[in-house]
Chains A and B, each alone.
Chain A
Amino acid sequence: MRRVYMDANATTPLLPEVMEAMRPYWMEHFGNASSIHQQGQRARAAVDQARATLAELFGCHDAEVVFTSGGTEGDNTALFGLLHPGDHLITTSIEHSAVLAAADRLAHDGVETTLIAPQPNGLIDPMDILRAIRPQTRLISVMLANNETGVVQPVEEIGKIAAQTGVFFHIDAVQGAGKIPIDVNRIGCHVLSISGHKMYAPKGVGAMYVRRGTPLEPIFVGGSHERRRRAGTENVPAIVGLGKAAEIAMHGLESGAMYRLAALRDRLEKGLLAQIPGTGVNGANAGGTVAPRAANTSNIWFDQLEGEALVIALDLKGLAVSGGSACHSGATEPSHVLMAMGLDKNRARASLRFSLMKTATDEDIDYALAVIPAAVSRLRELAPAMADAPDSFVGTAG
């Protein structure tokens, strides 16, 4: 059976060039980047080259790039490394759990958090952030692009507010990196975190931008790696892979790859809405327009069905998509992002996220447009029929 993957916001495969770039660093150039000898120097050179590429991606100095294990570590470090008891944090209710759970834990240490809710279209209003600022406010943490809806937040305006009020600013750019040009100086952020595996690099590697002079305390201590910002022997092959992926992403952004991807995404979206009654784009404005989004992401509601069952049905037809967020057992919970946007629970449960890989083709879209309407029809046809099943002994206990 044909398999089409439309869950790139969950993870992406390595690009062949990334795999090739990493290959010598497992066995041949295996050195520890902290070692003095030639093997170590070879590894150090590779890490520094990747650092220079990431600096280019962020628009910062090499010395401001810190390699991490991924997005969660970057987000955790920004919060745990900057906030102390008595501080106030402003973040949003649509952040990734790497930020929200860190804020929860900090609440036990006396850090108060204000959660800013998005507008129904998924956008955070910078004025809401300004209004939430207090004398104790030390950090604002906002994501660049939302993982569920793809909506791109007005981070430059928020950065101006942070600068004017003297508050640190962290960006979770995990879903934005590689899809949206980043310029940390224009944004005016102090910390920005990205993850490798969302941008065609391996899992288990990520990077942070940390502006010079930012008093970010490390959460890992030990050796003097990463200018004492992050102890631990560098994951050299993965860092090399991240550097290569960043290089390719920058080429893509310059050559308009995202316009091609947005056209595919729009064709999928329009096709689904035209073919299937009772559907809509989550976050669409009254006039049908949608807030600026990452080019690969579409989040659609389907009336009268359970998104969880649709995800399974589509998977069995060869189409990989996602709905809601997986809880610890693997079962699906309604998306907290869609709930924060004001969707009721049923509609949040009946919503699916389509996130295209940058290698997506017209044939992939054709396939999706062929299998989804049939699967939706089956789900909708069965739901009422089964609900009318005899219900005698069923239903009343005692």
Chain B
Amino acid sequence: MATTTHHSGTIAIAMSGGVDSSTVAAMLRAEGADVIGLTLQLWDQNRLAGKPGVPEAPKAGRCCSLDDVYDARRVAETLGIPYYVVNQQERFEADVVRPFVSEYLKGRTPIPCSLCNNHLKFDQLLLTARQIGAEFIATGHYARNEYDPARGRWILKRPADLAKDQTWFLGGLTQEQLAHTLFPLGHLQKPEVREIARQSNLALADKPDSQEICFIPGGDYKEFISNYLEEQGQTVPDSSGDLVTATGEKLGRHAGVHNFTYGQRKGLGVTSPNPLYVIQIDAESHRVTLGAESELNSPSFRVKDMNWISIPDLTAPMRVQAKIRHRHEPAWATLTPQGPGIALAEFDIPQRAVTPGQCAVFYDGDDVVGGGWIDSVPNSVNGANQN
């Protein structure tokens, strides 16, 4: 298993109170490893409680809820390992929540989980772990991480359970971070994980998986953003504008670009004999372009701020499979270097709703080649999208 590829030393387990990270704790404990449980306190779930659309009391099953901290602590108590909650609320707000809100207001669809992984889970947690005397962190992500002596690099790979693959969220991990990170679930299927949890007498073996963004308890982004801005003494800036067709024909008005995401079909506020989709959002002119499903497809996109994993750098065109959103089946593409950290991905078959602001991760078989942020999407309609 993954631990054998690393040196021995104290391991800090990132415990969320969910079944996956709890099982990691049980597995490493059973192996006799020297382990510590850590939970990052990222967001006060009661902070916006009671505001419109937000439940008075947060439901269970989201990270940072008191119930989850309780569950994580109970697992640590059951296993007899030291356990600490580390306060990273300020950093989470600065590095995850504020960028999320500002991107959303620009009509983009940000992915807070990747920001959180980059800034909190693997950066700050690893730092805290090393400061308190641990050499490694272990998490419950479904991914594999193996050192390849031939390439002299740590290689992030898709997990055995492809249905649970979380490598798309991990494309920002640096070699330094990977060298200190264990993913003990990478070779297991989810049912096996639940079975290990049951055998380890963990009370939460049947706890449902969390799906929503942890700091948005009601799951309603728009409500969250207006509540958050209100708390900050700000208001949602006016980004109302025109709904238009790709040829510039005006279809109506909308109340703000943050109400839309690429590929959205419902709640557009216009009626049409044929189904219409959001195919472009222009944050500058506040113009939202609607079109037929076929117009949603993009033949290529540009990525920036690439973090290379299986290769030191991209120096020549490379055949890859590109994954552009969490539930997207990776699609064949050719990746061409365009400057430092910048690349152009050209699909073999145009893909639907390629969305600026989202992450793209590229695969070579099971290996993660690297990950970056979708910057611009020249689409089939009107050339370069300047978002």
Contact = CB atoms under 8 A, between A and B. Distances in A.
Given A331-B86, A393-B305, A398 B373 contact: yes
A329 B41 contact: yes
Contacts of B370: 393
Contacts of A379: 131
B85 interface: yes
Interface string B98-129: 01100100101011000100110001001110
B131 A378 contact: yes
B87 A392 contact: no
Contact of A389 (B176, B356, B374, B375): B176
A32 interface: no
B86 A386 contact: no
Interface in B67-104: 69, 73, 82, 84-87, 89, 99-100, 103
A398 B356 contact: yes
A398 B110 contact: yes
A329 B127 contact: no
Contacts of B176: 389-390
A386 B119 contact: no
Contacts of A330: 41, 69, 73, 84-85
A340 interface: no
Given A329-B85, A333-B87, A394 B127 contact: no
A398 B128 CA distance: 27
Interface string B125-166: 011101111000000000000000000000000000000000
Contacts of B371: 393
B290 interface: no
A316 interface: yes
A316 B66 CA distance: 24
A345 B108 CA distance: 34
A389 B305 CA distance: 15
Contact of A398 (B41, B172, B375): B375
Given A328-B66, A397-B110, A312 B41 contact: no
Nearest to B373: A398
Contacts of A332: 87
A197 to B, nearest CB: 22
Nearest to B130: A382
Given A309-B131, A392-B306, A397 B103 contact: yes
B66 A383 contact: no
B357 interface: yes
Interface residues of B, number: 51
A266 interface: no
Interface string A308-319: 110011011100
Contact of B127 (A331, A383, A397): A383
B41 A331 contact: yes
A386 B174 contact: no
Contacts of B261: none
A309 B128 contact: yes
A379 B130 CA distance: 8
Contact of B87 (A308, A382, A393): A308
B291 interface: no
Interface string B344-383: 0000000000001110000000000011111100000000
Contacts of B372: 393
A393 B103 contact: no
B363 to A, nearest CB: 16
Nearest to B64: A329
A382 B131 contact: yes
A231 to B, nearest CB: 31
Interface string A325-339: 001111111000000
Contact of A393 (B69, B89, B130, B306): B306
B278 interface: no
A396 interface: yes
B305 A396 contact: yes
A395 interface: yes
B193 interface: no
A395 B356 CA distance: 16
A315 B133 contact: no
A398 B357 contact: yes
A306 B128 CA distance: 9
B299 interface: no
Contacts of B330: none
Given A316-B36, A328-B66, A397-B373, A386 B103 contact: no
A48 to B, nearest CB: 41
A389 B173 CA distance: 11
B171 interface: yes
Contacts of A317: 133
A395 B118 CA distance: 8
B108 A389 contact: no
A328 B371 CA distance: 37
In this complex, the member of B64, B133, B372 whose beta carbon has the largest number of chain A beta carbons within 10 angstroms is B133
Contact of B85 (A331, A382, A386, A390): A331
A389 B178 CA distance: 12
A162 to B, nearest CB: 37
Interface in A272-313: 305-306, 308-309, 312-313
Given A329-B85, A330-B85, A395-B305, A386 B118 contact: no
A394 B123 contact: yes
B376 to A, nearest CB: 10
B341 A386 contact: no
Contact of B132 (A316, A387, A398): A316
A122 to B, nearest CB: 24
The residue among A305, A309, A389, A394 with the most chain B CB atoms within 10 A of its own CB is A394
Interface string A204-218: 000000000000000
B172 A394 contact: yes
Contact of A308 (B64, B86, B103, B175): B86
A315 B131 CA distance: 13
A315 B84 CA distance: 10
A316 B85 contact: no
A122 B304 CA distance: 52
Nearest to A305: B131
Nearest to A386: B127
A395 B171 CA distance: 13
A327 B87 contact: yes
Contacts of B171: 393
B310 interface: no
Given A327-B87, A331-B86, A382-B131, A397 B115 contact: yes
B177 interface: yes
9 contacts: A312-B132, A315-B84, A331-B85, A389-B174, A392-B307, A393-B171, A393-B172, A393-B372, A398-B357
Going nearest first, the 5 A-B pairs with the smallest beta carbon separation are A393-B307, A398-B357, A331-B87, A331-B41, A330-B85
Given A309-B131, A382-B127, A393-B172, 15 more contacts: A315-B82, A316-B132, A327-B41, A329-B41, A379-B131, A389-B123, A390-B307, A392-B341, A393-B305, A393-B371, A393-B372, A394-B119, A396-B373, A398-B357, A398-B374
